[in-house]
Amino acid sequence: MSSIPKVMLAARYHLGGEIKIEELPTPSCPPGGLLIKTIASGLCSGELMTWYMDRKAEKAPHVLGHEVCGTVVKSENEAFPVGSLVAPHHHAPCLNCEYCRRGAYVHCTLWKSTRLDPGGMAEYFAVSTENLNDCHIVDNLLPEDAALMEPIACVAKQLRKLNYQPGEPAAVIGLGVMGLLHALMMPGCVAFETNPTRREWAIRQGVDAREPDSSQKFSCVILCPGTKPALDFALEIADFESRIGLFSPLPPEPVALNFESLYMRDISLINSYSCGPKDTQTALEWIKEGRISANHVVTSKIELSELPQAYQDMKSGRILKPMVIFP
């Protein structure tokens, strides 16, 4: 391995959605943990939500990136030797508390407190010993595929919580990257999208992508955009005794819903926040089986210096998903 520099470049989010490439100290290898040289890091659609990101940035500008894969350059854990290609989840549970015992990993106190240091959109990042509870060696995968482990795991959790059954009448609303990942894992579903560029890309991936149309009803609906109009459309196309998966949060403000109608139609609204170790394992199996790859969803492979513009392009819908490939 080449020598590790004292400083590195990283992409930081500033209030209002400004992305700056800045020089930061290279993190040290934490006790019992790993120091990783980044190879591939994807931009998450959740990092485009200004209200959510600004709430975090009020404390300090923070480094983007948690869909990440890289090479171990320092290790204090023999299970992850130097030279290994790894894909870590940016949060990891303790595996022992009440929440972990019932599979509610994302509500574990340790899960909420763990993170990658300083983030995946950096030339190097550190993985704590606690984060190794959900970190995987992926030597047999392409780095850009392995970097998708976390978002695909979020899809796995949503489908699991909805008890989605292949072949049932199912719909996906929104064909941003997360909607497309859902649609790709739900063969035969119908996907609705207003953006023609996204529809065309999805059709090329084999998805039945259409303009919004409420004439058909579905027993399972995945709602990806966190907006009230998208929620209203989901309720329009939901059949009796259907399940609507709320994949993204709406902004923190009151939302009017007709609960009498929801009750009489027996409609279930099911949230799905992030993912845990069982879901990341499922995601890796799907990637290894070739069911999903970066080629399905990554439309722009870029350098770190190009991320500020790519961030705006993804946010405006001009591109679907960029992934930074590090030298």
User: DSSP assignment of 230-290, as one string?
Assistant: HHHHHHHHEEEEEEEEE-SPPPSS-----HHHHHHTTPEEEE--S--HHHHHHHHHHHHTT
Residue type, 293: S
Q: Is the peptide bond before 187 cis (omega within 30 degrees of 0)?
A: no
Domain boundaries 163-271, corresponding CATH code: 3.40.50.720
> What's the sign of the alpha-carbon dihedral 104, 105, 108, 112?
negative
Instruction: Return residue ranges of the chain for CATH 3.90.180.10.
Output: 7-150+274-325
Residue-by-residue DSSP string for 139-160: TTS-HHHHTTHHHHHHHHHHHH
Q: Model's pTM, two decimal places?
A: 0.95
> What's the sign of the alpha-carbon dihedral 43, 49, 50, 55?
negative
Three-class secondary structure of residue 65 per DSSP? coil
Q: In what order do the strands lie in the sheet with 7-14?
A: 18-25, 7-14, 62-63
| Burial class of residue 160 in the structure, from the number of CB atoms within 10 Å of its CB (0-12 exposed, 13-18 middle, 19+ buried) | middle
Cα pseudo-dihedral 262, 179, 47, 295, rounded to 10: 170
Q: With contact defined as beta carbons under 8 Å apart, do 57 and 13 qualify?
A: yes
Q: With contact defined as beta carbons under 8 Å apart, do 239 and 218 qualify?
A: yes
Q: With contact defined as beta carbons under 8 Å apart, do 165 and 185 qualify?
A: no
Q: What angle do CA 229, 156, 285 make, to 5 degrees?
A: 150
Instruction: Return residue ranges of the chain for CATH 3.40.50.720.
Output: 163-271
The CATH class that applies to domain 7-150+274-325 reads alpha beta
Q: How far is CA 267 from the centre of its chain?
A: 26
Q: With contact defined as beta carbons under 8 Å apart, do 149 and 283 qualify?
A: yes
Tens of each residue's pLDDT in the chain, 327 residues? 568 999 999 999 999 999 999 999 999 999 999 999 999 999 999 999 898 899 888 878 999 999 999 999 999 999 999 999 999 999 999 999 999 999 999 999 999 999 999 999 999 999 999 999 999 999 999 999 999 999 999 999 999 999 999 999 999 999 999 999 999 999 999 999 999 999 999 999 999 999 999 999 999 999 999 999 999 999 999 999 999 999 999 988 888 999 999 999 999 999 999 999 999 999 999 999 999 999 999 999 999 999 999 999 999 999 999 999 999
Residues 6+ away with beta carbon under 8 Å from 202: 175, 180, 183, 191, 193, 209
